[in-house]
Structure 1
Amino acid sequence: MALQRIFSVVDVETTGLSPGRDRVIEVAIVRIEGGHIVHSYSSLINPERPIPLFIQQMTGITDAMVVKAPTFAEVLPAVTTHLAGTVFVAHNVKFDQGFLKAEFTRAGGEFPSLEFVDTVALARRGMRGLPNYRLETLCAHLGLAVGGHRALGDATVTAHLLLRLLAEAPEIAPALLTRPR
């Protein structure tokens, strides 16, 4: 039943940890239909402010890379289209969803009301006993390549993680969805 849903697996890279103060510098959305990855979208985002050095070192995304990139307001229509009518999935969904909601508000848009899935919570139910549930740890445990702190790589590996969790622990599927907040 769960794999009949359409999922948008989302990852964002940001200038920091606070949706109220910091900005998105990259967004990626990987679409899953019928249990298969069918499409991906990604864009660098001009945060209209300097990217802190430690973020540049962690992500490899530099000020020079985003200076001519679109602002979030400019990618808002594409992001909205890719999310429409899907289940929003992320690894630590509060982070990605919180940043997207803040960016939608800044851009004068309204974040869509979507059901969502947190792969951290899903992994805690289906893969008990791991030392932690960071994306890197789960990928190592399942033999998946890590995305390397870039949005498309992380969204793609999170999509594969979701598919593996649902295939290996189908009993977690009934508790999969959380209603919009």
Structure 2
Amino acid sequence: MLEDRTAPAPPLPQQTGWPAGYPEGYAVVDVETTGLARDDRIVSAAVYRLDARGEVEDHWYSPVNPERDPGPVWIHGLTREVLAGAPLFPEVADAFAERLEGRVLVAHNAVFDWSMIAREYARAERTAPVRQRLCTIALSKELGLPLPNHKLETLAAHYGVVQRQAHHALDDARVLAEAFRPSLHLAAGAGLRLPLLACQPLTEWSDTPRPFARQRGNPSGYGGYRQNSWRPARRRPACPYPNPGRYEPGGRLVQGMRVAFSGDTGVDRELLEDRAFDAGLHIATSVSRLTSLLVTNDPDSGTSKNVKARSFNTPVVDEAAFMQLLQDVAPALSSE
């Protein structure tokens, strides 16, 4: 484990009336990866454990051998040679889980870090002990912080936190922990509801490696690193069936219904969407008045799709119910 020699931030004044519903502890996490795609791997991970009021309890760090090309070395600095002797993810899974157990996972763009972590635990045939996550980007927006953008370095500068080694997992986790603490206190002082989201471990998933275009000056073939997102958009053929309208609770799905998904799913989202499409459903990327059904395991969260579904009175079911409905989809309504 690498030691963090940076001095801790001065303690914040004690507050009275701390919100009773706030979590009892946090795990501030950063992972560096071989890329941003679904099949990419973690090359290093760090955790700062914080108590209920954001005070640092301890920290942990480990490089991880990704068992493949390390990807954007020019970003994370971890070469194939450096990682050759690093432990495999299953060898650090217990130590990592110990730091996550019973805490809210906090990360900057938390959906990415959680997705990478969940997939690594799935590969190791394990489950990460995380039930909720908090994204510091979402929290900054809730607080209305006057930030020109939502980069980690911008949030750090707002609170006067000095970055010493950007894109090193341990230093990024330290920076985020120090920036999260005052944000947490601002939220508590205002009685703000924290933007917590449920974390759904992966129970079924598939790695589908995608080629990366080689670019001049980038012989490793990771030229797409900055352009590719976590889950790149896929071009499916248009649904051939007309939209029959909304799903009627207790009834059957009908081919042509517009189905949207929100939040984490136990079956990898891409697989779930493929099954819905193969059953004759239209995969909607957003929620509108035309949406037949929203599938989510966290209907009370404040995601834009959930908010719109509530405003439109769109029917909502969880993943398990949707999987049952997929087994008996009614044929498209006749136009005659």
Q: TM-score surpassing 0.5?
A: yes
Q: How far apart are residue 113 of structure 1 and its match? A: 4.1
Letter in 2 for 1:152: L
Distance (Å, rounded) in 2 between the aligned partners of 1:97 and 1:180? 8
- 1:139 aligns with 156
The equivalent position to 1:151 in structure 2, one of 164, 169, 172, is 169
- 1:43 aligns with 62
Q: How far apart are residue 46 of structure 1 and its match? A: 0.3
Q: Which runs of 4+ in 1 moved over 6 A?
A: none
Distance (Å, rounded) in 2 between the aligned partners of 1:67 and 1:149? 20
Query: Is 2:37 the partner of 1:23?
Result: no
The equivalent position to 1:75 in structure 2, one of 85, 92, 96, is 92
- 2:194 aligns with 175
The equivalent position to 1:13 in structure 2, one of 12, 15, 32, is 32
**Deviation by residue 1:10-36 (Cα, 9 ceiling, x = unmatched):** 100000001x31110000010001431
The equivalent position to 2:183 in structure 1, one of 140, 147, 165, is 165
Does the 8 Å CA contact 2:105/2:130 hold for their aligned counterparts? no
Alignment RMSD (CA, Å): 1.7
The equivalent position to 1:32 in structure 2, one of 50, 55, 65, is 50
Name which of structure 1's ranges 87-96 and 162-171 shifts more when overlaid on structure 2. 162-171
Letter in 2 for 1:70: P
Letter in 1 for 2:61: S
Change beyond 3 A, Cα 1:91–1:172: farther
Query: Secondary structure of 1:175's partner?
Result: coil
Distance (Å, rounded) in 2 between the aligned partners of 1:167 and 1:113? 23
Distance (Å, rounded) in 2 between the aligned partners of 1:159 and 1:23? 24
Aligned pair count? 178
Which protein, 1 or 2, shows the higher relative CO under an 8 Å CA cutoff with sep ≥ 6?
A: 1
Distance (Å, rounded) in 1 between the aligned partners of 2:65 and 2:191? 38
Q: How far apart are residue 63 of structure 1 and its match? A: 1.3
Distance (Å, rounded) in 2 between the aligned partners of 1:169 and 1:85? 21
Distance (Å, rounded) in 2 between the aligned partners of 1:16 and 1:143? 29
Larger Rg over CA atoms = 2
Letter in 2 for 1:142: Y
The equivalent position to 1:122 in structure 2, one of 139, 147, 162, is 139
TM-score by length of 1: 0.91
Does the 8 Å CA contact 1:166/1:173 hold for their aligned counterparts? no
Query: Secondary structure of 1:13's partner?
Result: strand
Does the 8 Å CA contact 2:28/2:176 hold for their aligned counterparts? yes
For residues 45-124 of structure 1, the aligned pairs below 5 Å read 45-52=64-71, 55-124=72-141
